[in-house]
Structure formats: structure tokens, C-alpha cells
Structure 1
Amino acid sequence: MEQLNKIFILGGAGFLGYHTVKEAVNRGYSVKTVDIVELPENLKFKEEDKVEFIITNFFNLSDQEIIAMLKDCDGFVYAGGVDERIVPEKPARKFFYEKNVLPTQRLARLAKEAGVKNFVVFGSYTAEFGENNAELREYNYHKEPYVETRLLQEKLAMYGGEGSMNVSVLRLPYIFGTMEGKIPLWSMFVDMLRGQDFMPVTSGGAATVTADQVGQAAISALENGQHRRTYPLATGYISYEDFYKKIVEELGQEEKTKLQVMSFEELEEAYKEDQELTDKKGVEHGIRQVNMLRANSMEFRLPTDVAFDELRVREEDTEAVLKETLAWANTQK
């Protein structure tokens, strides 16, 4: 891997982009980052941090303007895109293709033309299970609009780098952490349980990582990542039952809210009904409800050695980070 000098990070005012900029600065790199909004005043980087923060709509720039902006950078972190929580109008495949695939394909091509040598994409761990989980593949999980387009996003970025640019992907799971000015996605779960007497919980669980660790992994992947390599990134795991228990504790509803773990078979009919209602509304989930239930009824674990051994991610008190995240989510509106 060639020596890195200056790193371009797309989305430096975003949750993951900001944590990635911080890690690049910690390792002594110069950084150029673009976003459509400014950072909060107390999060802005100091002059000695060597961060050039550009406020513009990057995707509206011409190809030549983007190439010119990237000319002095040899690393690129693509911290953009949308996740499966968004429920677009039908067809969902078109929406996720336009939001995740096309922009990544374009920027990988332009980055290579600009002379960038190392390109890292923030992807999704749904791609990991869509590619490798035999049981889910039996039910065409890998052909769900969101999963399929995430896999396509990876491939086209890699094709774009062939010949002179290393392209690798971080397949990201549940991410915990906080950032001033950002409402964490976990707020929707906190609000869902607020004041509830009863809540069914799926029987599976999810791999986890912290936002700081994502930033660390991204810079390590730029430094040492292999072309066409996908990195399933995780430093922990939490069952959905334990996750919901922690939310109930944060809300102080231990005496009020009863959580009941239910199997796929027990919940399947309700999810089928919800899928039919969604269809009638003219919108479509990126992962159909029944397949989402099927996945959420499994233990979505990922090996932690990739993070700690290959990407040199530092150990963190994940319990403390999760607690802080839920407390933050409970106060943000």
C-alpha cells in the first residue's frame, strides 16, 4: 500500500464522517472533507488539525470540479448513502440504486481519474449475510432491494478502481455513539417503547460497533486494506431482548413495560399483514417485512478478529457507549 498523505472524507459533518475525520487527525493526516452543512461551533477542527472543511453539495458538482477537488488526495472515504430504515415509494430497488449505487460508482471512477490510490466504502452488514447466510439465501434475502443494491454498490466501486486504485468495503452493523447536533437513529426505538405496557421482541440479535471504532477501521483500511476486500466490522454483539431491556431501563419503565421474546413463527402472520398494508400504500421496504423478521430472529454475529487484528480497532467500553447513546437518544427530539 502506498504512503497516505491527504485523505478526502465525504460527509465530514455526518455522524460517521465526523468520527472518521477525528481519527484521521489523530493519526496525523491532512484531511479535506465536504458536506452540505457546517459542524456545530464546538466540534469544528482547529487550524493545526489540518482539516479543510468545504461546504457545498458535492454531488451537484461537475465531474471536472470533483476531479480538481480530489487531485491532492490519495485516500477517499465514502461515508454517504441511505440505509434500510427509509421506506420509499415503489419500486424500492430504483430508490436504493439511485441513492447508494450510482453515486458510489461515479465517485469511484472520478477518484481514480484524480489519482486517488485507496478508496473505502461504508457499506452494510446485510450484504455480509445476504452473501454468506445459506438459510437467508433460500428465502432470497440477497435479492431484497436494499441488500441487492448494497452488494451491487460494492462491486461497481471495486470495478471502478481496477488497475490503479484499491477499493475496500466496511460492512457496518449496529453502530453506537453520539454526536452533538445529530439525533441518533436509536431515538425511534426509544420513542417506540416510551409509555408502552407491552412490547414483543424478536429472538435474535445483532453485531455491534462504536462510531469511534468505525472511524479507526476506515483509516486502517485506507492504510492497509486490500483491493476488492470486504471487511465485516464488529467488536461486540447484543440480543434484541437485552437491547430493549436497556431502553426500558433508560426510560425508567422496568415496572411498567413487559418485554416478551417471540419466535419467527409467532410473529410471521403479523408481519405478513404489515407487508400487505405497506403494499397497498404504494411504498416498499428495502427488505420485505417477513424477511426482515426472519433475519431478526437469527443471531447476526460477526467475527471480532477482523476489527481488532486486521484493522487495529481499539477496545472500548461498549456497555458505557451504549448507555450514553440511549441516554442521548432519550433527550433528542
Structure 2
Amino acid sequence: MKFVDEATIRVEAGKGGNGCVSFRREKYIPFGGPDGGDGGDGGSVFLRAVGALNTLADFRFERRFKAQNGEPGSGNNKTGASAPDLTIDVPVGTEVYDEDTGELLGDLVSDGQLLKVAQGGFHGLGNLRYKSSVNRAPRESKPGTPGEVRNLRLELKVLADVGLLGLPNAGKSTLIRAVSSARPRVADYPFTTLYPNLGVVSVGLHRSFVIADIPGIIEGAAEGAGLGIQFLKHLARTHLLLHLVDVLPPDDSDPVAAVRVIEHELEKFSPALAARERWLVINKLDLIPEELRDEYCCDIVQRLGWTGPVFRIAAIAGEGTRELTYRIMEHLEAERAKLQPPAPPPEPTAANEEHSAPESE
């Protein structure tokens, strides 16, 4: 299935059922009075996050969704049936915008989360509701209200702990294949990756994180060149960025210049994303003789003026990847611990209460 990360749909909630105007017609009851029942409520429209979905491709062809209308009321004070709600499944990580106003309606970030996007119409009132001491035979009723109609823009942002940055052919797909079970396409030409790939990296029992590989970014991406800029929004949810650089590019370009290109495009796309923590990962060390690796790596770090963590790997051979994944896991666990609320103080035991109680005189 083709990866689709944006879609526009139209949702229409159901109309409320009309109230009924009716009078009792029974033998031996000459003045039966009004007995018109209320209508039923129209169905509302909900979006539901489903972890098994990973693309919005289902909305390429079906773009209009309409809930059922409520049933009208009837005589003998019978209330019309309310229509069932309509639930539309979307991938976890979907942001929902009102296409006409640009308002963010919700962000579906957990499996099973529901978001009401269109309220169903409310039921109409039958003429029994209008009966009073001065109006014994009301001939008025209230129609049901129409349901909400909205044009929605769905934007999928993949949920990953770690995002990979780099020029085309920096080795991002090779790295994600080396550390996870994901199998993105790998080849010796640029733009092999055409859409984001996710991989789950396990470093031990109940210790894992999700890593995202997006298409490579090129110079001028912020103005529409290349593919990577279209998917940079998928890095917005990540906690850590790994900046991969080819230590020995095949076109003899400067690795330092490659890093500067990505930094410049990040700044133009989102200063907040550019300010996120980044680790430098120097890749493809297997292309350089072992005695020259320190010299090449130190030169890159020195000319960049890099002060953050630096890792040296050869992703295709798995060299250095284990240490990298363990360091990432430790970093993420430390970040998660900061977000956890502090544990409440322990409640005093009965023995402590007796010990601390003042002595009676």
C-alpha cells in the first residue's frame, strides 16, 4: 500500500428526527389529547486511532462520510430511534484540522483514542411537549436540527522516539536495517527511500524504542526541492535526532558541508526542530583504513565545532551500532524519568503514629 500522510475528507453528522403532531383516536375517549412523540438524535461522527494502521491511503478514494439521520417521532407518544454514531479509523499519530478555518481539532496519539469531529443533530419535539392548561390541543412540533458538516484535513505524523537526518545515501536505511527488523530498500543511488520507515529497536527485556527513517534532504529542500522536506514533520514528535554523515562521500564532497546543508534546511523549516538535541553519527568507517579513521573523524568534528555526542559506525557491517543503541536507550530512559511525577511520600504506619503521638498528661 502506498504511503499517504495527508488526506482531506468531508464528514456529515446525521440530522435529528422531527417531532410528530398526533392526537389520540380511541373508542370511548372523545378528548384524547395530543400524543405526538419526539424524534431521535442524529448520529455523530468520530475518528478513532488504530495502531494497526500506518497510512492514510484508505482516504484516497473514499472521501465523504455521512452518519445516519434520527427517526421521526410517531403517534401514541412513540419516540423515534436515535441513529448510531459513525466511527472512522485513522492511524495513531494523526492530527485533525478543520480545512475551512485551520483550527486544530485534535491529536490522536494513543491506540483506541476517540475524537468527535461532527455533532449529530438533536431530536425534534412532538406536540405532546406543548400541551398546557391553556393549550389543550397543540398542533405545533419542532423539527430536528441538522448535523454538523465539516471538511477535515488529516495529517499523519509518525510516532518515533528517534529520527534520522542526513543527505541521500548517508546510510540511514542501512542503519535502521542493522538495528531493527525493518527492511527499507537500500541501493547505491540517491533517493532510495521515498517514504518514512519505522523500526523497533530492542536492547533488552522490556527495553526498546522506535526509530524513523525519512527520505534524504537536499539543498533547497525548504523551497520544494527533493522529497525529504515533505516528511520533516514526522520528526516533530521525536525526542532525539541522529545526524548521519558519510565519512567518505562517493562524489568527493565535504562531509562538513553536508552537515551544514541539513542544518540550514532545518532552520528554514522549523527553528524548534533545529534546536532539538542532535547526535552526530559518522557512518561508513569501513571505507577507510583503520589507521586513518581517527584522523578523518577528528577532522570532521573539529571543523564542525561539534560539542555534542559523536559516534563512529559502519552500519552495513554492524560496527558500533550496538553501543549507539544502548546509549540511545539510556538517554530516552533518563528523559522519561524526568517526565514521571514524583512518588507520593509514604503514609505513616500504625507503629510510627503511636511513636509520634504526644504523651497525655
Q: Do the structures match in fold with TM over 0.5?
A: no
Structure with more contact order per residue of length (Cα contacts < 8 Å, sep ≥ 6):
1
TM-score, scaled to structure 1:
0.30
Q: Which structure has the greater CA radius of gyration? A: 2
Normalized per residue, which structure has more helix?
1
